[in-house]
Amino acid sequence: MEEKLRSKTIFEGKVITVTHDEVRLPDGNTALREVVLHRGGVGILAIEDGCILLVKQYRYPNGIDTLEIPAGKLEKGENPDEACFREFEEETNRRASSMNLIFKALPTPGYCSEVLYIYEAKDFKEVDDSLPQDEDEFINLIKMPLDEAYKKVLTSEIMDAKTIMAIQYAYINKDR
């Protein structure tokens, strides 16, 4: 195990904090670690009439439109078990009566502290009084047959990691 000796904050933003950490290695030597601190996020797998609910969204860092499961970052101090309901409603105009945590994932453990909590929405329906989308989000909801979504994973038309994991989970479990 590595022991943190010193930490210096390089950047503190709205979403991430970046630190340079000096650590002691198991052999007694020291090394530097660049760390991105992130509060984590939630993603929601939702199957409606044999179709998976996806959002199409432009992602600035990669300069492309992506297809993703509804998802979002945790607010400071927010519990993932509550955030999943909020994000699902904001992005799909649907309200779920329950959510089941299906897995947790570390998207980039080599340098980032982010933990993603992936839930499956249960007993949901479209509502007229849903929570509004974030002001800086411009997303389109897409219902796609699960088999088609799985094929888009295999052809790299869907590249978002949390979405790939959720689609594979749904595809493997579709007949259960």
Contact 117, 80 (CB under 8 A): yes
Phi-psi region of 90 (alpha: psi -120 to 50; beta: other; left: phi over 0): alpha
| Residue 89 designated active-site | no
Count of positions (residues) in the chain: 176
Instruction: Show the tokens assigned to 55.
Output: 């959002």
Tell how far CA 6 is from the center of its chain. Answer: 30
Q: Which residues lie closer than 8 Å to 68 by C-beta, 6 or more apart? A: 43, 54, 55, 57, 160, 162, 163
Residue 72: its H or E element: strand 71-73
* Annotated catalytic residue, options 135, 137, 148, 157: 135
Return the active site residues. 135
